[in-house]
Structure formats: structure tokens, C-alpha cells
Structure 1
């Protein structure tokens, strides 16, 4: 085996790329803080939700609208709601539902939108025109208004909520992928691959998708924040997740009547929504810089 084909030699570029990405993340302090917050949030939603479920649902009228304190233990660090349930426990437990719905909606819209975008970008014809006109119809209606109408007609449920949020976000991915594919398919390296007998499927897997993926990843991180806000708004209006399940938006709605005497019931879920969306926005800006070839000179110069 030659030195070029040696596995250790082939692994060096991958390690160098990983080291460069981690180094750029460490240099970008806001992005590093956002990444740390999101990792902590993910662990809380997966592990903490199972541990704090009893405090999140158990009624304790002695702690009704209790102010944040440590006298009753760590559970009431952020206070209690109108039924004496721990706000901290409900934040952690509600994160699992909120993030789960957002993840499912983003993955569905990303998969469907990217697939349709590749199709209409590579093939021109009647089917592509129909898909684009349907996309125009979806984009002509405000996303929140469409979600309100559909959920009012079909009824609020987790499945319906994911479907509505996914459908309203599909055009973003579809149009982005279509625009990039139309531009990339005219590149010399794609024409060279065709001249050497490569099929459209091979070109798509080895050339188009790797180049489109960074853009999709950046859009997905921003879209994740947008879906969280949309879901919180629908839950606040009563058309999201229904009791006994709850999300951060539902917690804000439940604490609204008591905001004068128990502001913490509404404040902390709203703060969690704000910090999550802010962290996702900061992380998406960092991803855009890392994946954009025109911006990589910033990290190369700093490393040198």
C-alpha cells in the first residue's frame, strides 16, 4: 500500500478539518456559549425530563404561586405555578415536547423540501412546474394564519402540529436547493463527470448534495428557532399541545392570568424561548462563516 493510500494519511485531512472547525468555534465566544447552552438544553430535555416529571405534574397547593426560593429544595428554584407545580421541573419537561416538535417539523420539511428541490432542479417539465406553483400557493399565505386555520379545522394534536409546521417550511428548503442545483449543474466539474459517463444519481450524491448540505444545515438551524417561536405562539393561542401535555408556549399562556402576582410563571418560559432562539441564531451565523469558502480566510489567518 502506497503512502497516499495509507489509512493514517487519509485520516489526516479529516482530523485537520475537525481541528479547524473546533478551533473556529472556540475563537467565536458567542457561538461557543450558544453551543454549550444548546447541549445543556438537550441533556436536560432527555435526562432531566424523566427525573423531574413528578414535580412537573404533581399538584402542591401549599406552594401555589410560590416565589423563587431554595427553602423547599432545588425544585422550586424558579418558583411554583398556580397549582403549586415546580416551574423549573415544568421548564425541563416542557423542553422535551417543544424541542421534539421542532425537531420533527424541521426534519420533515428539510427532507421533503430538499428532495423536491433536487427533483425540480435536475428535471424540467410539467411535474416540476406543478411543484413550483404549489410552492407559490403555500408561500402566498402567512404561515401562522395557515397553521391557525388548519389546526382549527383538524383539531390540535402533536401530529397535526408537526404536519402544519413542516408544510409551511417546505418552500424555504425547496427554493434554496433548486436555486443551488440550477447553478451547480452548470459547473465544469459536473460537465466533466457527465462526459466520463457518471449518472445523474452519482453526480447528485457525490457532487451536488455535499455542496448543498452546508447551506441546508445553516437554514435548518435558523428554521429550528422559527419553528419554536411558531409552536409557542400556537400553544399560547390554545391551538398547540393540549393538557395534560404542555410546551413552553403553553406555560406562558397558563401564567398570563397571574402575571401581576406571579410574574415568574410566565417570565422563565419566555426567557427559555428567547435564549434558545438566540443561541440557534448565533450558531447559524457561525455555521455560515465556517461553511462559506469566501469566509474561511478569517479562520486561516487567525490560525497562522
Structure 2
């Protein structure tokens, strides 16, 4: 078995540093176990991200971007001074290893969760969580997979919060629930160097039977309000008619003027023949006789 086959057979459960001799000049390049070096091609990690070659012969220079930080370990122990970067930093070949940490905001989608609310209603809710790493050292030495840990924590927190709320509160008070969930997530993850920036509830799905029942309830409520409004209008109209009758009873000519005004309105709406007595007050005279 050759040297290349022995190198590929090394298990990647516990990453460590190995030395490769690359190229005709025998330049020393440092890589992790399980990495492949083919000719003069760039050295790549198992994640597929290229590792930059050291600058100069026998040097250990590395470059990190503005949005990255490097956490360096020397003989397995954390190097003092915290994370390095951005820019150029130096490592000692064969004794130092480092982990790159991305400081940009990451969004994760919480899959739909079927939850039983406080008032025994089954709903399906999904959400989106935005987070970023504010302490690269804590994120490396305390968490093996930041994305997976945050994803599982968001799922369990979402289920716990929804289980303590009524359906009406979930539908009408999403903003306060999102802020409460954001606070709980930050308190749980700040020791890992993770900052939860925002939580958004994307969708709340109800069973079809419950949707029909809520629609029928809303329709009945609207009908009841319409009837109450119509009754209040009739009451106000009757009061206005009573006051108008009292005013007209003081002067009989006012009733005749109102009668003529009504005839004019009816004649303007449609073509019709209207018969009315002349004089108009002939009926009271007949009653007197």
C-alpha cells in the first residue's frame, strides 16, 4: 500500500495536522487529515473551501476575508489573543491548526411544526430565524455545528412557546410572540457566541374544519352586528319622526308643505298620475261636519 492510499485511509473523526511535500521544490504545505494534494493544485478541505498556500518558502502565512475570523490552536491549545483577522496572520507549520468562522448573518428555516395550543387546537406553524456569530472563539470551542444547534434550538423553542398560547393570541399577536422567542433563543445561545437577530413567523395553517367553523362564526357575528345597527337606525328615525310631528302640530300649514314636498319627490322619480284633494285640508273640514 502506497503513501497516498495510507493518507486517504486516515479517519476524519478527529481532525489533526499532517505534512505534505508538494512539487519539485519540496515545499512544505500544512493540511488536515483526509485532504488531498494533487500536483500543484490548491489544497482543499473536506468542505470544499480552498486553503491558501503559505507565502514564501517555509512560511506559514494565511489570509482571511473581512467577514471571517481565524481561531488558532497550537498543539491543541487555544492561542492567546483571541481570533485573528481580517488580513494576514502567521502560523507555525506542523504545530498550529486553525478554524475559519464566518461572521455574516445566516438565515435558517424552521420546518412546519404541528403543535397543540393551550385551548386544544392543532395548528401547523413554520418560522425563519436570522443569527450571526459575535464570538468566534466560543463558537469554535463550545459548539461542534453552529447551524445544526441553532436549528434544533429554534424548533424546540417554537413548540414550547406555541403550547402555552391560545389560538386567538397566536393569530393576533405574532409580533410579541416573535420577540419573546427571540429573547429566549438569545439567552440560550449567547454562551455559544451566537446572536439571534430576528425571528419571523412565516405561516400558520389551521385544519379545514376549524377554518369553516371560524368562517361561520365570523359571518354570524357580522349578521348580528348588522341587525343591531339596523335596529338602532329605526329607533333614531322614530325619535326624529316624533319630534317632527310635534313641530308640525303647532302649525297646520307645515303639514301641507311637507305633503307637497313629498309629491314633488315622487313625481321626480317616476312618471305617474297623482290625485290629491283641493284644498288639501278638506278632510278635516268634512270630519268637523
Higher helix share: 1
Could you say which structure has the larger radius of gyration?
2
TM-score scaled by length of structure 1? 0.24
